[in-house]
Amino acid sequence: MDLKITRNYSIYQKTVNSGKGADKNIPSPVPAEGKLRSDEICISSDGVKKQEAARMAAGIASTMREGASPERIAQLKQQVAAGTYQVPAELVARRLANGL
Protein backbone atom coordinates (compact mmCIF):
# COMPACT_ATOMS: atom_id res chain seq x y z
CA MET A 1 0.00 0.00 0.00
CA ASP A 2 1.20 3.52 -0.74
CA LEU A 3 0.99 6.01 2.10
CA LYS A 4 0.83 9.74 1.67
CA ILE A 5 1.62 11.61 4.86
CA THR A 6 0.86 15.32 4.95
CA ARG A 7 0.96 18.39 7.16
CA ASN A 8 2.82 18.11 10.45
CA TYR A 9 4.72 14.88 9.88
CA SER A 10 8.00 16.64 9.07
CA ILE A 11 7.67 18.74 12.23
CA TYR A 12 6.97 15.59 14.21
CA GLN A 13 9.97 13.83 12.66
CA LYS A 14 12.27 16.78 13.45
CA THR A 15 11.02 16.82 17.03
CA VAL A 16 11.59 13.11 17.44
CA ASN A 17 15.08 13.31 15.94
CA SER A 18 16.10 16.37 17.96
CA GLY A 19 14.69 15.00 21.21
CA LYS A 20 16.67 11.78 21.19
CA GLY A 21 18.91 12.79 24.03
CA ALA A 22 17.08 15.79 25.33
CA ASP A 23 15.03 16.23 28.47
CA LYS A 24 11.69 14.40 28.30
CA ASN A 25 9.80 16.96 30.44
CA ILE A 26 9.24 19.48 27.66
CA PRO A 27 5.63 20.74 27.51
CA SER A 28 3.80 20.17 24.25
CA PRO A 29 2.70 23.25 22.28
CA VAL A 30 -0.89 24.38 22.76
CA PRO A 31 -2.86 24.89 19.51
CA ALA A 32 -4.21 28.33 18.68
CA GLU A 33 -7.81 29.03 19.68
CA GLY A 34 -10.31 27.33 17.39
CA LYS A 35 -7.62 25.64 15.35
CA LEU A 36 -7.02 21.98 15.92
CA ARG A 37 -4.19 20.67 13.81
CA SER A 38 -3.46 17.07 13.18
CA ASP A 39 -1.48 14.82 10.90
CA GLU A 40 -3.23 13.11 8.05
CA ILE A 41 -2.54 9.79 6.33
CA CYS A 42 -4.07 9.01 2.94
CA ILE A 43 -3.94 5.46 1.62
CA SER A 44 -4.18 5.45 -2.15
CA SER A 45 -5.96 2.90 -4.28
CA ASP A 46 -2.77 2.56 -6.34
CA GLY A 47 -1.27 0.41 -3.59
CA VAL A 48 -4.21 -1.99 -3.75
CA LYS A 49 -3.88 -2.17 -7.55
CA LYS A 50 -0.17 -2.95 -7.21
CA GLN A 51 -0.93 -5.77 -4.77
CA GLU A 52 -3.50 -7.26 -7.14
CA ALA A 53 -1.05 -7.07 -10.04
CA ALA A 54 1.66 -8.75 -7.97
CA ARG A 55 -0.78 -11.53 -7.00
CA MET A 56 -1.73 -12.09 -10.64
CA ALA A 57 1.94 -12.13 -11.70
CA ALA A 58 2.70 -14.72 -9.02
CA GLY A 59 -0.18 -16.87 -10.30
CA ILE A 60 1.06 -16.66 -13.87
CA ALA A 61 4.61 -17.49 -12.80
CA SER A 62 3.45 -20.57 -10.87
CA THR A 63 1.41 -21.73 -13.88
CA MET A 64 4.43 -21.32 -16.13
CA ARG A 65 6.64 -23.32 -13.75
CA GLU A 66 4.25 -26.27 -13.91
CA GLY A 67 5.01 -26.72 -17.59
CA ALA A 68 3.48 -29.08 -20.12
CA SER A 69 4.38 -32.55 -21.26
CA PRO A 70 6.76 -32.89 -24.21
CA GLU A 71 3.97 -34.56 -26.20
CA ARG A 72 1.64 -31.59 -25.64
CA ILE A 73 4.37 -29.13 -26.65
CA ALA A 74 5.06 -31.10 -29.86
CA GLN A 75 1.33 -31.17 -30.64
CA LEU A 76 1.03 -27.39 -30.12
CA LYS A 77 4.07 -26.73 -32.31
CA GLN A 78 2.51 -28.76 -35.11
CA GLN A 79 -0.80 -26.90 -34.81
CA VAL A 80 0.90 -23.49 -34.82
CA ALA A 81 3.05 -24.43 -37.82
CA ALA A 82 -0.02 -25.67 -39.71
CA GLY A 83 -2.04 -22.59 -38.72
CA THR A 84 -4.75 -24.66 -37.06
CA TYR A 85 -4.08 -23.70 -33.44
CA GLN A 86 -7.12 -22.08 -31.80
CA VAL A 87 -7.69 -21.15 -28.17
CA PRO A 88 -11.15 -22.18 -26.93
CA ALA A 89 -13.12 -19.13 -25.75
CA GLU A 90 -14.38 -21.10 -22.75
CA LEU A 91 -10.83 -21.72 -21.59
CA VAL A 92 -9.95 -18.04 -21.84
CA ALA A 93 -13.12 -17.05 -19.95
CA ARG A 94 -12.48 -19.66 -17.23
CA ARG A 95 -8.88 -18.54 -16.76
CA LEU A 96 -9.92 -14.90 -16.57
CA ALA A 97 -12.66 -15.71 -14.05
CA ASN A 98 -10.22 -17.68 -11.89
CA GLY A 99 -7.57 -14.97 -11.95
CA LEU A 100 -5.33 -16.93 -14.36
CA of 67: how far to CAs of 61, 75, 91, in Å? 10, 14, 17
| pLDDT for the residue 24 | 55
List of residues 6+ apart from 41 with CB closer than 8 A? 3, 4, 5, 6
Average pLDDT, the chain: 76
For residue 8, how many other CB atoms are within 10 A of its CB? 13
What would the pLDDT profile of 55-90 be if each residue is shown by its tens digit?
888 888 887 777 778 898 899 899 999 999 888 889
What percent of the chain shows pLDDT beyond 90? 10
pLDDT-based confidence at 7, cuts 50/70/90?
Answer: low
| pLDDT for the residue 72 | 87
